[in-house]
Amino acid sequence: MEIMSHIDWHPALADPSKQRQVKPRTTGKTMVIDKGLGLRAFEDLLQASANHIDIIKIGFGTSVLYPKHILQEKIKLAKKANVQIMPGGTFLEAAVLQHKQDHFFEMVHQLGFTSIEVSDGTIELSPQLRKDLILKGMEYQLQVFTEYGKKCWGSSIEIEACVQTIQQDIEHGAEMVTIEGRESGVGVGIYDENGDCKQSELQELLNQVPSTDLIMWETPLKSQQVQLIKQIGADINLGNIAPTDILSLEALRRGLRSDTLQMFE
């Protein structure tokens, strides 16, 4: 761990039980949402912080908006840095809407993506089709992340359905299930119209889910990252993190920022 060589004195590292896992991690993963980084910015991101990034999501359907060779280069760079990379769930939803999922899988495979997101944030997806998409992804040797929750304003999560979905998706082969938080983090899923966690929903979900390792929390806002880290722990899986926030988030996880400094006292 050359990266740590100059910080062996740090509190969060002094107690081995508080150390963060190194990659490939089984939990405490961080997923970045990339809304259009160019090649140099992408190289910057990986060079400065690949150790703290597990997955990069090429947001929404933006994959098709890059010149093809730029997207291919980004995918290559991510893989070289041991970072998983996938297109956004809306991209697959658009394909499903047009009954073009075969084209989708073929394209994802050809481009070299390592993972996909199966979601029904905007469209309806029958349990059977959801299962088929997961299995199809695995057939192509892709890591499958699924998502629970609708993207529309004011939508919340139904705990029972959510827990059931998590169990089924995992059973069918999914890595973990993302809880919808959008890119804004406001008025959707477990967040109220101010972006604060709805405590009763969250508590009930935590009570019923077999393991929080199965969940990736979309936490675009810093306040949400702080709240969930304090409430559940530093090693939860967090998604939809802005590229500019990667080191700040890792600092939060390690008690290297005011909000969580006292956690490691």
184-to-46, 188, 241, 250 alpha-carbon distances in Å:
24, 9, 10, 20
Please state the closest distance from residue 102 (CB atom) to its own copies, in A: 9
Does 26 participate in binding its own copies (rule CB under 8 A)?
Answer: no
Total residues at interface with its own copies (CB under 8 A):
70
Does 59 participate in binding its own copies (rule CB under 8 A)?
Answer: yes
What is the pattern of x (binds its own copies, CB under 8 A) and - over residues 71-110? -------------------xx-xxx-xx-x--xx--x--x
DSSP per-residue string spanning 90-159: HHHHHHHHTT-HHHHHHHHHHHT-SEEEE--SSS---HHHHHHHHHHHHHTT-EEEEEES--STT----H
Q: Which CB atom, from 70 or from 206, has the smaller least distance to its own copies? A: 70
Q: Collapse the DSSP code of 57 into the 3-class scheme (helix H, G, I; strand E, B; otherwise coil) and give the result.
A: strand
Q: Which residue(s) pair with 57 in the sheet?
A: 33, 86
* Pairing label, strands 215-218, 143-148: unpaired
> According to CB under 8 A, which one of 32, 45, 81, 176 is a site residue for its own copies?
45
Q: Which CB atom, from 88 or from 137, has the smaller least distance to its own copies? A: 88
- Tell me, what amino acid is at 175? E
Could you give the count of Cα atoms lying within 13 Å of 169 in the half-sphere of its Cβ? Answer: 29
**Site residues for its own copies, window 107-146 (CB under 8 A)?**
107, 110-111, 121-123
Q: Which CB atom, from 163 or from 229, has the smaller least distance to its own copies? A: 229
Place of tokens 């597990």: 54
Q: Which two tokens stand for residue 193?
A: 């119209």
Do residues 73 and 50 touch, judged by C-beta distance below 8 A?
A: no
Q: Which CB atom, from 172 or from 254, has the smaller least distance to its own copies? A: 254
Please state the closest distance from residue 64 (CB atom) to its own copies, in A: 4
What is the pattern of x (binds its own copies, CB under 8 A) and - over residues 219-258? ---x---------------------xxxxx-xx--xxxxx
CB atoms within 10 A of CB 256: 17
Please state the closest distance from residue 258 (CB atom) to its own copies, in A: 4
Q: Which two tokens stand for residue 87?
A: 């297109």
Does 44 participate in binding its own copies (rule CB under 8 A)?
Answer: yes
**Site residues for its own copies, window 168-207 (CB under 8 A)?**
182, 184
What residues line the site for its own copies (CB under 8 A)?
2-7, 9-11, 14, 35-41, 43-45, 47-49, 51-52, 59-62, 64-68, 70, 90-91, 93-95, 97-98, 100, 103-104, 107, 110-111, 121-123, 151, 182, 184, 222, 244-248, 250-251, 254-258, 261-262, 265
